[in-house]
Structure 1
Amino acid sequence: MAKSIFRSLSVILLATVVTACASNAEPSGTSNSATGGAPAAINSNIKDGTIPASDKSKNPKAALSRTDTFIVGLTSAPDGKYNPLLGAYWNQNVNELVFSSLVAIDKAGLPVPALADKWEISNDGLQYTFHLRPDLKFSDGSPLTAEDAAFSLTVLHDPTYDGPTDITQAYIKGGTEYKKGAATSIEGIKVIDPLTLQVQTTQSSALALRLIGGYVIPKAYYGPKYKKGDLLAFKELNAKPLGAGLYTFDKEVKGQEIRLVANQLYYKGKPQIQNWIYKIVNEATALQNLAAGEIDYIAFTTSNTDIADQLKLLSFVDVNTYTTNQFAYLDFNTKSPVLQDKNVRIALQYGLDRQKFVDILYQGYGEVGNHPVAPTSWAYPKDVKGAAFDAKKAKELLDQAGWKVGAGGIREKDGKKLTVRYLSRDSNFDKVLIPILKENYTDIGVDVQFETLDYNAVVAKRNKGEFELAYFFYSTNDPYDQLRTYYSKSPEVPEARKYTNEKVDQLIVQSTSILDQNKRLPLLKDLYQELTNDPPTFILAYYKVLSATNSRIKGIVPNTYQGIVNQIDSLNYKIDK
């Protein structure tokens, strides 16, 4: 059985400084064995856990006056794709609350019942049978049945589907034929009865459970807008999502807030806190918002001792630290003329002092990263070494690639300067990274041009291939979560920035066709070695997450795999009055 299923990140915020430092550049090993277990801690003396509020009497009046509302701070606004089949990135903060999936994950990253209270997998690993809980309802009162789950899987197979889920990796029988237009239905998806869904696959896959057991949307609501081969009308409902999650969508004030209301029909019981608000806050003033009681929760992917010290001064908040399965990385545009040569990409890795970056930014809350999987994962390849900072090695590689030092110290080739475009954001992450990057890359003869944009604009330019470097954060439950973006046949990666490596493709397919993690490990090790030899991304750092919750909010204890949304028990989650 697959060890974990896909869930997106918890609420991920960039507030004040980013990333963390470690005692050495090479991450320590893993602790998640094939049978599960707690994630490994980042190699530092910063301990995971919660420091409870020391003086709740200091709680601001602005917070105490909210007796039925929980406000979560976000420093980047979603782009309105409120449909879990279509939306990615920041939209998932909303989608995870409005929708539910057949299968969820527990705090160890293992699959647990959600809308489906049990499932069976045949001995050959090719047939999945899901048994839904009785009397499930969507938030509008309509019944949630196996027909809705089958419809959701069908949409993911649409020929024009361009969302974040690569359902082809589940190998559902007849799925390819439907996607290519050779069939009007998907042979392998069968509704046995209103509470039973059976899915037949053509080959074993470690990804099948999490893909088939994903989010369910109501056919009665979305079906009339669904037209095979044309999702435009279907996407019109993104602004008015309807699901079976903890909360229902109320309204959005663009660039300011998203309001959600408790779902009275939620299958685990109505949440005791009536209103959930995502408030868009300025990164530089996020701590002030928390101190003033204007928000109740915020998390920092750029955790460090400065932030920790400031949070401890807020005696009315509970401060939580946990080792995350996330990492920060620079995306390489391998289609760019200057980065098509892998030696140039490797040179850029050797040429950047990531340890200095991590030391300044994370101050003990992170470590230098090398692979697109966190050290918390059972799949982390501790024996595969990355490119440590070595300016001399970087210069040698650029020389070999034909880029010779020209006028002003900038390298040239065929009359063109070695210039890379970096898509930056007005963030503390870049305030630390950019000076180091400019200094280090100037030293090895690389000219860097910076363009500062907001998050959605960065994504848009990235998808058009109008960049050489851009930074992002990612999390992995299964290693495939990030590896899928390197698969040349992935439908979610635009052609303008698609990475192509036949060996990588082959190893991705092979490593995901096996259910046994111990048998997947050697294939994944070979895969991570090949990605080191021909890098599509430049992993910067692994880190811990610091979060703060107003102490009047009970039942919020963020963790590695569930974040805050997926670990909420609707019965224990409440406001202390």
Structure 2
Amino acid sequence: MKQVTKQKRIAVLLMSLLLAFSLAACQNTLNTSSDTTKGSTGEKQEETSGEKIVNIGMTDTLTSINPLLMDATEILKYAAAFEFLPLVELNSKLEFEGMLASSITTEDNIHFTVKIDDKAVWSDGVPVTAEDVVFTVLKLASPKLANASMALYAFEGIGDDGFVEEGATEISGVKAIDEKTVEFTAKYKMALTTFENTYGRYILTVPKHILQEVADEDLAAYDWFNAPTVVNGPYQVTDVDLQHFVTYTANKNYWKGVPKIEKLNIKILPAPQILTSLQSGEIDFVQQTTGNILQEDYGNVEALSNITVYYGAPVTNQSIFFNTTSVTDTRIRQAILYGIDRENILNGLLNGKGEIVDGFLSSAGPFYDASLAPTAYNPEKAKELIKEAEADGWDSSRVLNFYVNSGDTTFTQAADYIAAQLGEIGIKIQVTTVDLATLMSTAGSKSFDIMAVQYTYAPVDPYPDINWLLSADGWTGFANGRVAEALAATQTTSDIAEIKEQYLTINTIAQEEVPMISAYVISAMGAVNNRLKNATPDVYGSFINVQNWDVTE
């Protein structure tokens, strides 16, 4: 989820957030003769002679593939973006690259000019226009769809709740200037990188000429999105089971070039099945933020002769968030930080593939400051803090509920270890593992004491995530004036040294007040079958040029 002012992006990034579900295997080999095989739907399907099919393995499940219901999970973003392009995307060099837009510019950090690529057309041949973008934003801001994830309240004409008035037909802060130009007007200064990362990457434009007659109240459940007839991206969905798979066929009229792979499948499967599925060729590609290769399988995956592995930069943060309105004593949160042997977890469960930091930033980003040393494991210090808190009324018999994503099998092990360690210093923890949807619901309702989730803070723009998370409305419920001032200062300058200094202030406060703990930052493994060409799994940019992927014998 992403916000500017109350922004939330789980970029889970979410960040990647990992959820285990089973999936019957489907054949993914390059067929050189006509045959009948069992497909990803579980039903028999005919395959054309010479047809090229690629399967992408993912371990999250989908809540939807409707781009108007963008929910902060990376899997929804990528699944929908195969059909409906974002304005821009981050490439592997952490540069914003035009997708639907040819450029995004600003002169005052208030007005943002988006130029739609002159060549961009829908699959039915109709040009993609500025009106399509305006229409999409209007629907994203509709109270009938009630999508709170987009933080559109940052723009003029949209209420502080992120929605327009019911029945609104225009937004004063989102205007079509000409056929290919959209102007966004913000209510306050916003860095260009924030606009690009928060909105450019997550506004997936839909066709006005197809959807304009559909009532807002019908759009959320509109079945058309499960098999859209008109797209502007390289692929379009032909079948979907949100728990198990999405199947795509190539958009033969894709304006950036006809995809070389005729059929693309997302296969959703449990993390323990990734190794055997890579080995057998049942999946061809695993990207770091949507596919969880188990840490204990890393060596075996590296040894596969048919697979090449890639370790991503350390950007996926295994974050532990406190509900500071529930765990109100700072000393207890500090004690928990001191009471977790994070280095032991990193080396024992992740084979050292990552790093330990305090706060939100990792060494992969331009604003990381190594002068902030991570808090060392110190159980005796933790016990002292607990005693101080008890003297002021903390009830040590209280059991803190700790919610963990059941699909993240590595961290479920870590959570049990953490609970045992904290038990030794006098803090009682009850670990509850839940699926991703339940975890997000629990987080949103703040019905937790502690929760953990993998969260990818965009290295080039951590502002939206931190600004929302460290707020009264965010998951932590933690509001701090110094944090707010430092965050605001990052939006009014392009000087990297100055921005770095502000984030050092923020991370220092996070270390002292402990609204969150970075358990570890993962250098996650991605993998690709050697038959797949022009495809490199990376934390960012893996699917930018998916139309150029190809397979060989």
Interval containing the TM-score (normalised by the shorter chain): 0.7 to 0.9
**Match for 2:130: what amino acid?**
A
Change (3 A) 1:331 1:125: closer
The answer for unaligned runs of 5 or more in structure 1 is 1-5, 17-59, 405-411
Q: Which aligned pairs between 1:339-378 and structure 2 lie closer than 5 A?
A: 339-378=327-366
Change (3 A) 1:498 1:413: closer
Change (3 A) 1:488 1:139: farther
Asked whether the equivalents of residues 80 and 238 of structure 1 are also in contact (C-alpha less than 8 Å), the reply is no
Asked whether the equivalents of residues 331 and 470 of structure 1 are also in contact (C-alpha less than 8 Å), the reply is yes
**TM-score in terms of structure 2 length:** 0.82
Aligned to 2:225: 240
Query: Aligned to 1:488, which of 471, 477, 480?
Result: 471
Alpha-carbon distance in 2 for matches of 1:541, 1:403: 32
Change (3 A) 1:378 1:220: same
SS in 2 for 1:137: coil
**Match for 2:277: what amino acid?**
N
Deviation at 1:350, TM superposition (A): 0.8
Find out whether 1:511 has 2:490 as its counterpart. Answer: yes
Deviation readout 1:469-528 (Å, 9 max, x if unpaired): 2221111221124213325366xx47xx63333333333233234344333222222222
Alpha-carbon distance in 2 for matches of 1:435, 1:512: 40
Alpha-carbon distance in 2 for matches of 1:267, 1:326: 33
Find out whether 1:284 has 2:272 as its counterpart. Answer: yes
Query: Aligned to 1:445, which of 423, 426, 434?
Result: 426
Aligned to 2:29: 63
Aligned to 1:98: 83
Alpha-carbon distance in 1 for matches of 2:182, 2:402: 47
Alpha-carbon distance in 1 for matches of 2:115, 2:58: 36
Find out whether 1:575 has 2:547 as its counterpart. Answer: no
SS in 1 for 2:70: coil
Find out whether 1:294 has 2:282 as its counterpart. Answer: yes
SS in 1 for 2:220: helix
**Match for 1:219: what amino acid?**
K
Deviation at 1:226, TM superposition (A): 5.3
Deviation at 1:68, TM superposition (A): 1.6
Deviation at 1:158, TM superposition (A): 4.2
Find out whether 1:553 has 2:532 as its counterpart. Answer: yes
Deviation at 1:305, TM superposition (A): 7.6
Change (3 A) 1:576 1:447: same
Deviation readout 1:365-403 (Å, 9 max, x if unpaired): 112232212211111132223322111111111222226
Q: Which aligned pairs between 1:26-45 and structure 2 lie closer than 5 A?
A: none
Alpha-carbon distance in 2 for matches of 1:88, 1:300: 16
Deviation at 1:298, TM superposition (A): 2.5
Change (3 A) 1:505 1:156: farther
Alpha-carbon distance in 2 for matches of 1:11, 1:400: 36
**Match for 1:467: what amino acid?**
F
Deviation at 1:343, TM superposition (A): 1.8
Aligned to 1:220: 209
Of stretches 199-208 and 538-547 in structure 1, the one that deviates more from structure 2 is 199-208
Find out whether 1:465 has 2:453 as its counterpart. Answer: no
Asked whether the equivalents of residues 325 and 561 of structure 1 are also in contact (C-alpha less than 8 Å), the reply is no
Q: Which aligned pairs between 1:171-210 and structure 2 lie closer than 5 A?
A: 172-176=155-159, 179=163, 181=165, 185-206=170-191, 207-210=194-197
Change (3 A) 1:319 1:426: closer
SS in 2 for 1:329: strand
Deviation at 1:208, TM superposition (A): 2.8
**TM-score in terms of structure 1 length:** 0.79
Deviation readout 1:413-445 (Å, 9 max, x if unpaired): 45x723111223264313531342132111111
SS in 2 for 1:272: coil
SS in 2 for 1:266: coil
Of stretches 466-475 and 202-211 in structure 1, the one that deviates more from structure 2 is 202-211
Of stretches 345-354 and 318-327 in structure 1, the one that deviates more from structure 2 is 318-327
Deviation at 1:91, TM superposition (A): 1.8
Aligned to 2:98: 113
Aligned to 1:261: 249
Change (3 A) 1:267 1:489: farther
Of stretches 184-193 and 268-277 in structure 1, the one that deviates more from structure 2 is 184-193
The answer for unaligned runs of 5 or more in structure 2 is 1-8, 21-25, 33-50
Alpha-carbon distance in 2 for matches of 1:466, 1:519: 37
Alpha-carbon distance in 2 for matches of 1:413, 1:196: 58
Of stretches 187-196 and 512-521 in structure 1, the one that deviates more from structure 2 is 512-521
Asked whether the equivalents of residues 234 and 251 of structure 2 are also in contact (C-alpha less than 8 Å), the reply is yes
Find out whether 1:87 has 2:71 as its counterpart. Answer: yes
Alpha-carbon distance in 1 for matches of 2:378, 2:359: 18
**Match for 2:52: what amino acid?**
D
Of stretches 296-305 and 136-145 in structure 1, the one that deviates more from structure 2 is 296-305
Change (3 A) 1:312 1:106: closer
SS in 2 for 1:224: coil
Deviation at 1:304, TM superposition (A): 8.0
Aligned to 2:301: 311
Deviation at 1:306, TM superposition (A): 4.8
Deviation readout 1:9-50 (Å, 9 max, x if unpaired): 59958699xxxxxxxxxxxxxxxxxxxxxxxxxxxxxxxxxx
Of stretches 355-364 and 515-524 in structure 1, the one that deviates more from structure 2 is 515-524
Alpha-carbon distance in 1 for matches of 2:416, 2:452: 15
Asked whether the equivalents of residues 353 and 436 of structure 1 are also in contact (C-alpha less than 8 Å), the reply is no
Of stretches 436-445 and 253-262 in structure 1, the one that deviates more from structure 2 is 253-262
Asked whether the equivalents of residues 83 and 238 of structure 1 are also in contact (C-alpha less than 8 Å), the reply is no
**Match for 2:233: what amino acid?**
G
Alpha-carbon distance in 2 for matches of 1:439, 1:427: 19
Alpha-carbon distance in 2 for matches of 1:260, 1:575: 17
The number of equivalent residue pairs is 505
Deviation at 1:191, TM superposition (A): 1.3
**Match for 1:192: what amino acid?**
I
Asked whether the equivalents of residues 203 and 513 of structure 1 are also in contact (C-alpha less than 8 Å), the reply is no
Asked whether the equivalents of residues 15 and 286 of structure 1 are also in contact (C-alpha less than 8 Å), the reply is no
Deviation at 1:202, TM superposition (A): 4.7
Asked whether the equivalents of residues 327 and 369 of structure 1 are also in contact (C-alpha less than 8 Å), the reply is no
**Match for 1:522: what amino acid?**
E
SS in 1 for 2:390: coil
Alpha-carbon distance in 2 for matches of 1:463, 1:507: 25
Change (3 A) 1:98 1:481: farther
**Match for 2:279: what amino acid?**
A
Asked whether the equivalents of residues 256 and 279 of structure 1 are also in contact (C-alpha less than 8 Å), the reply is yes
Aligned to 1:325: 315
Asked whether the equivalents of residues 350 and 388 of structure 1 are also in contact (C-alpha less than 8 Å), the reply is yes
Aligned to 1:428: 409
SS in 1 for 2:29: helix
Find out whether 1:419 has 2:419 as its counterpart. Answer: no
Percentage of pairs with the same residue: 21
